[in-house]
Amino acid sequence: MNNSVALELKNITKTFGKVVANKNVNLTLNKGEILSILGENGSGKTTLMNMISGIYYPDEGQIFIGGEEVIISSPQDAFKYKIGMIHQHFKLVDVFTAAENIVLGVNDKFNLKEVNSRVEEIASKYGFEIDAKKYVYNMAVSEKQTVEIIKVLYRGADILILDEPTAVLTPQETQKLFDVLRKMREDGKSIIIITHKLNEVMEISDRVSILRKGEYVATVDTKDTNEKELTEMMVGKKIDLKIERTETDFDKPLLEIRNLSINGDDGSRKIEDVSFYIRGGEILGVAGIAGCGQKELCEAIAGLRKIENGAICHKGESIVGLPAKEIIDKGISMSFIPEDRLGMGLAPNFSITDNMMLKTYNDNKGPFVDRKTARKNAENLIKKLEIVTPSTETPVRRLSGGNVQKVLVGREIESSPNVIVTAYPVRGLDINSSYAIYNILNDQKANGTGILFIGEDLDVMLALCDKIMVLCHGKNMGIVHAKKTTKEELGLMMTGSLDLAEVKNKEYGKAKDSHLTEKEWNEQQAENENKGGNDNG
């Protein structure tokens, strides 16, 4: 056994009934390296990591830590062998401080002063920014992630597994995280990253291991490969990774939002005086850190949340106060993908066919529903999005998370809406499936549909969207043309460091001093927009 190997898996197999999640997987993680794990949905990445972290136990195969075979049958065993996993959805107690969360479960008795001191020591060593006394409910997403990472380091982890660590971070926060990971690597830590962002794989990892349909394909040195080659190894065939932005002649606004204000479930203001519009044949992206009001905005447009102030108009007609069903009938499709997509988006015990009918069952005449048409639509959807399922009658709860998401997104698009409000439509999807969704959205755009696209990957938004609106703490920081901006500018706007809306207001103030009327000012801005400059909706 090589002394430089921190972790080795030999012939690991895991099955769930007749489903083979992993089959004879061999994998090595060296000491002091960052290894990325790539694979399509259902390729067995998460199952494999869950066996390393003690959540699952392999049916066959061996696990070696530092050259010695070990048995990992629980998360406690994983901690004993200095393995820690940072999950995509944080597992923190909101009413506890950072220090209290970090020490939780380690000792029954502890000295909080000593814990704070140890946390600050770890943070200083690796370059974390953390306030050990701060309560979790007051933290930004990046701060919560920091707590999760320090939590496993506090327990002495030498092997760290990070699941989609940059999914909810700004570009600046991602770079800070990467700087920390590099320092941890220099300190001899061994790190596994699961991510779908190939540009980040190329930037941060030393090697990349690829899984396909539960089986190990290959491990390559990052410096000797590229995004196209990695994708081909993942899917087993050549694929074009370029997002083609469909060029269209923008129609008049289909959806107009004016001075909109919305409260959250706790009564706090989530959207504050936001204005924008979406024209036919246009994709407007919405960028922002998780929790900045995207969810509430979607729900208000779909008629699922009361607005406190402002207007929402569809083709010039107010839809405020209308039932969700009437809004759907007007041609507005909301494809919002919540964390609990089986709770909010789909009926988990229903088949794919029955879930396809949930938005159209009222259209049936008489006591019987038209399952024949619904089944045909389900078959077309399965073929178009390559949904992995035994049949159209399989309950969606039995599908993988990525395939559940395909059913939800596909159902919304199948209703042929004139406005699509879609939030995180590719969350949890592999690269091949993600590009299938992007192509479908571009097809809808070419047909004259107006699309509001809320996403996490700024590279995708810059390639796919025509304009991008940035939200920070529920406020509109400005709307920019995708061809005229950068990830860095978007990141500054997402954190509130740059407010283009305020800049525009100052310019308008100067225009008033120059005796420009408001009408003349607006006409000037419309002309600038047609030339490809900034605009504010």
DSSP 405-418: HHHHHHHHHHT--S
**pLDDT value for 344:** 62
> Do 353 and 489 belong to one domain?
no
16-50: b or e for each residue (b if 16 or more CB lie within 10 Å)? Answer: eeeebbbbebebbbbbbbbbbbbbbbbbbbbbbbb
Task: Give dist(CA 47, CA 119) in Å, integer.
Answer: 31
Q: Are residues 77 and 219 in the same domain?
A: yes
| C-beta separation of 314 from 396 below 8 A | no
- Give CA separation, 156 vs 78, 99, 180, 282, 330, in Å: 11, 15, 16, 51, 57
Mean pLDDT of the chain: 85
Tokens of 337: 């993908």
State yes or no: pLDDT of 362 exceeds 70: no
Average pLDDT of span 117-137: 92
| 370-390 average pLDDT score | 86
Q: What would the two tokens of residue 27 be? A: 């994998």
Instruction: Assess whether pLDDT exceeds 50 at residue 512.
Output: no
Query: Comparing 67-71, 199-203, 517-521, which segment has the lowest mean pLDDT?
Result: 517-521
Domain boundary residue, one of 235, 261, 296: 235
Element (H, E) at 332: strand 332-336
Q: 503 versus 426: which is more confidently predicted?
A: 426
Residue 337 lies in a domain: no
CA distance 476 to 286: 10
334 within 8 A of 382, measured Cβ to Cβ: no
- Say if 248 falls within a structural domain: no
* Residue 340 lies inside a defined structural domain of this protein: no
Q: What's the rounded Cα separation, in Å, for the pair 180 and 195?
A: 17
Q: Please check whether residues 484 and 372 belong to one and the same domain.
A: no
Q: Among residues 414, 437, 471, which one ends one of the domains?
A: 414
What Å distances lie between residue 83 and 11, 178, 446, 474, CA to CA? 20, 20, 49, 38
Q: 232 and 238 in contact (C-beta within 8 Å)?
A: yes
Is 250 in a helix, a strand, or coil? coil
Least confident span in 25-34, 49-58, 506-515: 506-515
CB 445 within 8 A of CB 240: no
Domain that holds residue 473: 253-331+417-530
Average pLDDT over residues 201-224: 94
| Least confidently predicted of 71-85, 168-182, 262-276, 333-347 | 333-347
306 pLDDT higher than 90: yes
Boundary-marking domain end, from 385, 414, 443: 414
Q: Does residue 216 share a domain with residue 82? A: yes
Asked, for residue 228, whether it belongs to a domain, the answer is yes
Same domain? 303 vs 432: yes
Number of domains the chain contains: 3
C-alpha distances in Å from residue 362, one per residue of 368, 369, 414: 11, 9, 16
443 and 502 co-located in one domain: yes
- Does residue 222 sit in the same domain as residue 162? yes
Strands 283-287 and 159-163: unpaired
Q: Indicate the Cα dihedral angle 481, 486, 489, 493, nearest 10°.
A: 50
Q: Are residues 372 and 315 in the same domain?
A: no
* Confidence (pLDDT) at 533: 42
Residue-wise pLDDT for 446-488, tens only, equals 989 999 999 888 889 999 999 999 999 999 999 999 999 998 9
Say if 135 falls within a structural domain.
Answer: yes
In a domain, 514, yes or no: yes
For 456-492, give the DSSP string: S-HHHHHHH-SEEEEEETTEEEEEEEGGG--HHHHHH
Same domain, 283 and 423: yes
Q: Are residues 68 and 15 in the same domain?
A: yes
CA-CA distance, 203 to 222, in Å (whole number)? 9
pLDDT of amino acid 520: 54
Better pLDDT: 275 or 19: 275
Residue reference for tokens 């959250």:
264
CATH number of the domain encompassing residue 301: 3.40.50.300
Q: Is residue 456 part of a domain?
A: yes
Domain co-membership, 181 together with 297 = no
pLDDT at 3: 66
pLDDT band at 295 (very low <50, low <70, confident <90, very high): confident
The mean pLDDT of 12-34, rounded to a whole number, is 92
Q: Give the closest residue to 62 by CA, choosing from 121, 132, 12.
A: 12
What is the DSSP code (8-state) at residue 206?
S
Is the CB of residue 117 less than 8 Å from the CB of residue 106? Answer: no
In order of 20, 51, 364, 377, the CA distances from 357 in angstroms are: 31, 38, 10, 9
pLDDT at 40: 80
- Structural domain contains residue 245: no
Give the pair of three-digit tokens for residue 300.
């208000």
Could you give the percent of the chain with pLDDT greater than 70?
87
pTM exceeds 0.85, yes or no: no
Same domain membership, residue 134 and residue 86: yes
Q: How far apart are the C-alpha atoms of 44 and 23, rounded to whole Å? A: 9
The mean per-residue pLDDT over the stretch 207-227 comes to 94
Confidence of residue 265 (pLDDT cuts 50, 70, 90): confident
Is the CB of residue 261 less than 8 Å from the CB of residue 307? yes
Lowest-pLDDT range, 194-198, 362-366, 394-398?
A: 362-366
* Least confident among 37-41, 91-95, 362-366: 362-366
Largest CA distance in the chain: 80
Angle between helices 112-126 and 171-186 (to 10 degrees): 90
The order of strands in the sheet holding 83-86 is: 83-86, 159-163, 190-194, 34-39, 207-212, 215-221
